[in-house]
Structure 1
Amino acid sequence: MPNWLNIAILVLVAYVTISIVLYYLQDYMLFKPERLPEDFQFNYENQEFKEYNLETRDGAIINGVRFFPKGESKGVVLYLKGNSKSIKGWGKFAVDFTRHGYNVLMVDYRGFGKSTGRRSQKAIKRDLQVVYNKIKELTTENRIILYGRSLGSGFAAKLASMNHPKMLILDAPYYSLTRVTARYAPFMPLSVLLKYPLPTYKWLKYVQCPIHIIHGTNDKLIPYKTSVRLSRVNPKLTRLHTVIGGGHKNLNNFESYHEMIHEILNKAPENIDLSTTSIHVKHTSKKSKTKA
């Protein structure tokens, strides 16, 4: 057998082996859950909260915590977190919304915190729709805000595309999870192997509420240009908010981030009379010709 054929077979075997390993181990690479015992007691300083457990149709338990504002409620923020830890730690970010008068509901995905059940993209989407439906039993949709952080941005976009919330806020979102992982395995057929493609860009096309995208210019995991591309998917409804110097995990450490959240939650949209602006004025690079 020629040497080149031996080499080709070895490369093919290695490629297939790596593909199989990626397929079966991707849950461990994509998700970094923190598991909590059933009797774990949540404790958040200076915050009023209540714990909930929701049983799904396949017998899984989705655990969540609802944080209450000090005064009258303006609505509910369904906060969909990133791919690590549990709401034990993520709960400290609820204050960024309760201070503006909103209830905040955070839930752990399957296998995170106290939540149980076999995890899959379909199962998580179904779970979150059930959670959304429960919120609708308590308030109207025009009082529901979806906030998706990193991994949660894709699920938030999907929920918004299937429902009619007040608005959708995406924090450090990805174009699709396939694109994110392709940066680390560019030669692998991830479109076939990935069990969690999460095509945020596809779902954003069908969102009918205002979309706010927040992203840091120094994000090394999900580049800022990703949000620039996403902002073009549904441009009439989308506004891109840029945190200069912000990374992937530290946007909350920037004053500009909190100013953006304040503006998004409190400033009423204004209708501009475009007929009084320069919107139709066009620049020309050609010099006007004068007649002799």
Structure 2
Amino acid sequence: MPYWLNIVISILIVYIVISIALYYLQDYMLFKPEKLPKDFKFYYENQNIEEHNLETRDGAVINGILFKPKSESKGIVLYLKGNSKSIKGWGKFAVDFTRHGYNVLMVDYRGFGKSTGRRSQKAIKRDLQEVYNKIKERTTEDRIILYGRSLGSGFAAKLASMNHPKMLVLDAPYYSLTKVTARYAPFMPLSLLIKYPLPTYKWLKYVQCPIHIIHGTNDNLIPYKTSVKLSKVKPKLTKLHTVIGGGHKNLNNFESYHNMIQDILNSKSQDIDLSTTSIHVKHTSKPNKTKA
């Protein structure tokens, strides 16, 4: 056998082995869950909370916490978190919404916290729709805000595409998870290997509510340009909020971020009479000739 053919075969074998490893190990690389015992007691200082469990049709249990504002509720934010730890730690972000008078529901995905069940993209999407349906039993959709953070942004976009919430807020979203992983494995056939493609851009095409995208300019995990690209999917419904200097995990440390949340939660969409603006004004450098 020629020497060059041995090299080609060796490279091909290594490529196949790496591909198989990526397929079977991607859950461990993508998800960084923190598991909690069933008797774990959630506690947040100065926060009024209720713990809830939802049993799914395949026997899994989805655990969540409802954070309640001190005043009368204006609505509810379904907060879909990122890919790490559990709602034990993520719960600290609820105050950013309860302070504005909103209930906040945070849930752990399968295998996170107290939630159980075998994880897959299809299963998580189904679980979150069941959670959304439970919320609809207690309130109307025009009082539901979907907030997706990092990994949760794709699932939030999918939920919004299937329902009619008041608005969709995406925090550090990705164009698709396949695109994100391609940065680290550019030569692998990820379109065939990835179990969680999460094509946010496809789902946004079917969203009919206002879309707010928040992203930091110094995000090294999911580049800011990703949100610029996403904002062009439904430009008439989308507003891009830029946190200058913000990274992927520290947006809550910026005052500008909290100003954005305040503006988003308290904003009321109003139709603009474009006939009164400069949008249709035609300018010319030639003076009009007057008749003598």
Measured against the shorter chain, the TM-score band is over 0.9
Q: Report how far residue 117 of structure 1 moved.
A: 0.2
Instruction: Work out the CA distance in 1 between the residues paired with 2:141 and 2:269.
Output: 18
Instruction: Work out the CA distance in 2 between the residues paired with 1:271 and 1:66.
Output: 34
Q: Report how far residue 40 of structure 1 moved.
A: 0.3
Instruction: Work out the CA distance in 1 between the residues paired with 2:196 and 2:182.
Output: 13
Match of 1:110 in 2: 110
1:111-148 deviation digits (Å, cap 9, x = unpaired): 00000000000000000000000000000000000000
Q: 1:283 to 1:92 in 2, by over 3 A?
A: farther
Match of 1:144 in 2: 144
Q: 1:139 to 1:35 in 2, by over 3 A?
A: same
Instruction: Work out the CA distance in 1 between the residues paired with 2:280 and 2:221.
Output: 39
- Aligned pair 1:53/2:36, yes or no? no
Instruction: Work out the CA distance in 2 between the residues paired with 1:30 and 1:129.
Output: 22
Instruction: Work out the CA distance in 2 between the residues paired with 1:270 and 1:253.
Output: 31
* Counterpart secondary structure, 1:197: coil
Instruction: Work out the CA distance in 1 between the residues paired with 2:35 and 2:193.
Output: 26
Structure 1 counterpart of 2:248, one-letter code: H
Match of 2:261 in 1: 261
State how many pairs are aligned: 289
RMSD across aligned positions (CA)? 1.5
Structure 1 counterpart of 2:220, one-letter code: K
- Aligned pair 1:2/2:2, yes or no? yes
Q: Report how far residue 278 of structure 1 moved.
A: 1.0
Match of 1:242 in 2: 242
Note the 1:130-209 alignment, pairs <5 A: 130-209=130-209
1:156-188 deviation digits (Å, cap 9, x = unpaired): 000000000000000000000000000000000
Match of 2:24 in 1: 24
Q: Structure 1 stretches (4+) deviating beyond 3 angstroms?
A: 281-284
Q: Report how far residue 249 of structure 1 moved.
A: 0.3
TM-score computed with the length of structure 1 as normaliser: 0.97
Instruction: Work out the CA distance in 1 between the residues paired with 2:119 and 2:283.
Output: 54
Instruction: Work out the CA distance in 2 between the residues paired with 1:256 and 1:155.
Output: 25
Instruction: Work out the CA distance in 1 between the residues paired with 2:74 and 2:257.
Output: 21
Instruction: Work out the CA distance in 2 between the residues paired with 1:7 and 1:101.
Output: 65
Structure 2 counterpart of 1:178, one-letter code: T
* Counterpart secondary structure, 1:198: coil
* Counterpart secondary structure, 2:11: helix
* Counterpart secondary structure, 1:49: strand
Q: 1:58 to 1:274 in 2, by over 3 A?
A: same
Q: Report how far residue 282 of structure 1 moved.
A: 5.8
**Structure 2 stretches lacking a partner, 5+ long:** 287-292
Instruction: Work out the CA distance in 2 between the residues paired with 1:191 and 1:282.
Output: 48
Q: Report how far residue 273 of structure 1 moved.
A: 1.5
Instruction: Work out the CA distance in 2 between the residues paired with 1:282 and 1:215.
Output: 36
* Counterpart secondary structure, 2:79: strand
Match of 2:44 in 1: 44
Instruction: Work out the CA distance in 1 between the residues paired with 2:283 and 2:25.
Output: 55
Structure 2 counterpart of 1:217, one-letter code: T
Structure 2 counterpart of 1:275, one-letter code: S
Percent identity for Structure 1 against Structure 2: 84
1:182-241 deviation digits (Å, cap 9, x = unpaired): 000000000000000000000000000000000000000000000000000011100000
Note the 1:46-125 alignment, pairs <5 A: 46-125=46-125
